[in-house]
Chain A
């Protein structure tokens, strides 16, 4: 039994934490938050590329480090803890994973080295309006070479160089990969609940695009990308949730009310204990997801759903109760609680919200139960 990360992976975590403490301090995050024209920190992105993080799960032949999903989980947790203002999830968990899973040899050769070097910023575009996308709801079309339609919102769509898009092709759906710097692509920047990450509305008007994977299999391929991304995002969520708990514990020890540390009151203790229980429950489920991801296990769909449901619940609880533990200060702009409260919601609805994933979980459980 070894249900834990290896010593090397833990060392990578330490390095990542040290790097992000310095390069993605709260000041860096706030510079992005307070500046209406900026949605990521380009210097940090460059630094992350230099650290080799963008190529962690990309094979060496394509310019990556050729490590695996577990290393990516470790990095994701630290990025979540730092609320890092970079398009890491869009580029790595979604775009790179989609290319790795479904790309042709030529597409991999063309795209993966650019991802590893930091030159390519990726996005994953499925949503077209309110409500979770479903096969009948997709209206964007692909005719074999040209993409038309609207995707809204696209996380990091304001700065992405390329996107993987879900579109209708004939009777079915396909995934297509599209260069966003071309005449047939219009970007409109969106204001969102979490301004530390960019969002855009992308309008495609006969934009040149290539199919990724087989025609008509787009929905299934997208679902497979989402399963892998769900595990990685779960680690980001747990990193963020743990940061909230750490903040709340520190504050509860240093804040005095009624001439006592507020952390000595059971009302505060129990609130923080509940956060801890939710985070640990999320962690156990996420570890299983990490194992399933790294071993390409047939258990991945169910494990990913459980990890995502548990981590989304944990981050929401931790983010809102961290504010509550801070009292009035927690509601101010200058205290950092709201950075997590914002990011918690983005991560919960990006890649499908909690209800969608609870439904996926039960559907997969029914299949398992029947088998």
Chain B
């Protein structure tokens, strides 16, 4: 066992770090601010362009589409370094991490020339149009219709929880092309121009107060059949390729961790009134559990990296990370607020602990437990794909989608 990079990996990491130092500036692990607004977007696009020119974009992709065909471990290493430098990669995560790999797998050579380069250079941003108001955990239950009309498809319906739709140029759209078929068999995937007539993007006002996601409405939107990804009716299998690519992209908890709450407890009185909260035994036991969970998550990533390093593909076991992180984020934020007793209710950044970071985590964590696979769906995935337990009884097998309860 050792935690060192191989010689080749170490050389790559050093080279990446030198480039990031030159391009982004000093590492800044403490800054946790979300980039918003047009200026931030311009900066992100400029960064992506430099990244492409330096050869760090599309590291694992085929050479004929502009990639370097490196092993996935190099993508992970570059991502780790980018994170340390707080490089502005956010707007491209979904497009380059999930959409374009799907486009590469299924689109025609001419279209690859059209789409891959601009995406790699940061000129065009992509989003993923899967979830719908009546199709969340059960994505294949979606109802957005695509009807063939000459050489085009006409789209009507609505998507929801679409990250970045308001600044995206293109999206991959999963739509129902045949409601006479079974649920999973009547779907088809398309590339959608987000600026096309009839596409309307409306921000969702979240319980946290922010707006990180959108609703997207389609009103007689036309898509050429040449923008179809894969065969008609094979959309579900295309979508699985997209979702598989999500596994490499799972992030950390994005909130305060045991170190931050330890500091808070050091300066907060204990509930007994004697000493600090950090001296309170009940608090100490919780702190130990958060430590074990947070470190276990990080160490688990090292195990994934080891598998990648040996050329293996990470499986569905990485679903563990989000269950652990989202729940720890919620519990820890809750404990931090309760730690301060009545004062803990104050959100004003000039008065609140960590400028309100615990409140932000408290209000963001419920979303994190749902987004990208709910706690419950992730447990199903572990049970079925890792432990090999049988699927639940299916009431939708062998039934045309239109005949399912709620299928219309």
- Chain A contacts to B: CB under 8 angstroms: 1-5, 70, 245, 249, 252-253, 260-261, 263-266, 268-270, 272-274, 276-277, 280-282, 284-285, 287-288, 290-291, 294, 305-306, 309-310, 313, 355, 357-359, 361-362, 365-366, 369
Query: Which of A2, A3, A272, A282 is the one whose CB lies under 8 Å from B389?
Result: A272
Total A-B residue pairs with C-beta atoms closer than 8 Å? 152
A276 lies within 8 A of B299 (CB): no
Q: Which residues of A contact B5 (CB under 8 A)?
A: 1
> How far, in whole Å, are A281 and B324 apart by their CA atoms in the complex?
9
Query: Which of B73, B320, B393 is the one whose CB lies under 8 Å from A280?
Result: B320
Given contacts A252-B389, A265-B392, A358-B288, contact A1 B309 (CB under 8 A): yes
Query: Which of A1, A273, A306, A359 is the one whose CB lies under 8 Å from B383?
Result: A273
Chain A at the B interface: SS class: helix
Given contacts A263-B389, A277-B323, contact A2 B306 (CB under 8 A): yes
> How far, in whole Å, are A305 and B284 apart by their CA atoms in the complex?
13
Q: Which residues of B contact A285 (CB under 8 A)?
A: 292, 295-296, 299
> How far, in whole Å, are A254 and B306 apart by their CA atoms in the complex?
35
A266 lies within 8 A of B376 (CB): yes
B389 lies within 8 A of A269 (CB): yes
Contact with A along B1-18 (1 / 0, CB 8 A): 111111001000000000
B300 lies within 8 A of A361 (CB): no
> How far, in whole Å, are A369 and B266 apart by their CA atoms in the complex?
11
Q: Which residues of B contact A281 (CB under 8 A)?
A: 292-293, 296-297, 300, 320, 324
Q: Could you list some 5 contacts between A and B, CB below 8 A?
A: A1-B309, A2-B4, A3-B303, A309-B288, A310-B292
Query: Which of B6, B287, B384 is the one whose CB lies under 8 Å from A362?
Result: B287
B295 lies within 8 A of A288 (CB): yes
Q: Which residues of A contact B6 (CB under 8 A)?
A: 1
> How far, in whole Å, are A355 and B299 apart by their CA atoms in the complex?
23
Query: Which of A266, A274, A305 is the one whose CB lies under 8 Å from B392?
Result: A266
> How far, in whole Å, are A28 and B88 apart by their CA atoms in the complex?
61
B300 lies within 8 A of A273 (CB): no
> How far, in whole Å, are A193 and B28 apart by their CA atoms in the complex?
53
Q: Which residues of A contact B393 (CB under 8 A)?
A: 260, 264
Residue B46 lies at the interface, judged by CB distance under 8 Å to chain A: no
Residue B289 lies at the interface, judged by CB distance under 8 Å to chain A: yes
B390 lies within 8 A of A263 (CB): yes
Given contacts A280-B317, A306-B291, A359-B281, contact A253 B389 (CB under 8 A): yes
Query: Which of B2, B296, B379 is the one whose CB lies under 8 Å from A269?
Result: B379
Query: Which of B259, B387, B388 is the one whose CB lies under 8 Å from A273?
Result: B387
Shortest B264–chain A CB gap in Å is: 12
Query: Which of B295, B376, B388 is the one whose CB lies under 8 Å from A306?
Result: B295
Q: Which residues of B contact A313 (CB under 8 A)?
A: 289, 292
Q: Which residues of A contact B296 (CB under 8 A)?
A: 280-282, 284-285, 306, 310
Shortest A313–chain B CB gap in Å is: 8
Residue B350 lies at the interface, judged by CB distance under 8 Å to chain A: no
Shortest A371–chain B CB gap in Å is: 13
> How far, in whole Å, are A265 and B384 apart by their CA atoms in the complex?
11
- Listed from nearest, the 3 A-B pairs whose CB atoms lie closest are A269-B383, A358-B288, A273-B379
A3 lies within 8 A of B3 (CB): yes
Given contacts A276-B386, A284-B296, A310-B296, contact A362 B288 (CB under 8 A): yes
A266 lies within 8 A of B380 (CB): yes
> How far, in whole Å, are A284 and B384 apart by their CA atoms in the complex?
22
Residue B31 lies at the interface, judged by CB distance under 8 Å to chain A: no
> How far, in whole Å, are A265 and B392 apart by their CA atoms in the complex?
6
> How far, in whole Å, are A276 and B388 apart by their CA atoms in the complex?
12
Shortest A174–chain B CB gap in Å is: 30
> How far, in whole Å, are A4 and B281 apart by their CA atoms in the complex?
35
Known: A4-B307, A264-B390. 13 other contacts (CB 8 A): A2-B2, A266-B392, A269-B384, A270-B383, A274-B379, A281-B292, A282-B296, A284-B299, A285-B295, A288-B295, A306-B296, A361-B288, A366-B262
B382 lies within 8 A of A273 (CB): yes
Query: Which of A1, A268, A365 is the one whose CB lies under 8 Å from B4?
Result: A1
Q: Which residues of B contact A369 (CB under 8 A)?
A: 259, 262
Shortest B323–chain A CB gap in Å is: 6
Residue B302 lies at the interface, judged by CB distance under 8 Å to chain A: yes
> How far, in whole Å, are A305 and B296 apart by their CA atoms in the complex?
12
A277 lies within 8 A of B262 (CB): no
B9 lies within 8 A of A359 (CB): no
Query: Which of B285, B295, B303 is the one whose CB lies under 8 Å from A4?
Result: B303
Q: Which residues of B contact A309 (CB under 8 A)?
A: 288-289, 292
Residue B272 lies at the interface, judged by CB distance under 8 Å to chain A: no
Shortest A90–chain B CB gap in Å is: 26
Shortest B349–chain A CB gap in Å is: 25
Shortest A76–chain B CB gap in Å is: 15
The B159-193 residues at the A interface (CB cut-off 8 A) are none
> How far, in whole Å, are A142 and B262 apart by their CA atoms in the complex?
41
Q: Which residues of B contact A273 (CB under 8 A)?
A: 378-380, 382-383, 387
Closest chain A residue to B262, Cβ basis: A369
A277 lies within 8 A of B382 (CB): yes
A358 lies within 8 A of B284 (CB): yes
The B321-378 residues at the A interface (CB cut-off 8 A) are 323-324, 376, 378
> How far, in whole Å, are A246 and B392 apart by their CA atoms in the complex?
20
Query: Which of B1, B287, B293, B295 is the one whose CB lies under 8 Å from A3?
Result: B1
Closest chain B residue to A294, Cβ basis: B1
A264 lies within 8 A of B299 (CB): no
Closest chain A residue to B302, Cβ basis: A3
A272 lies within 8 A of B383 (CB): yes
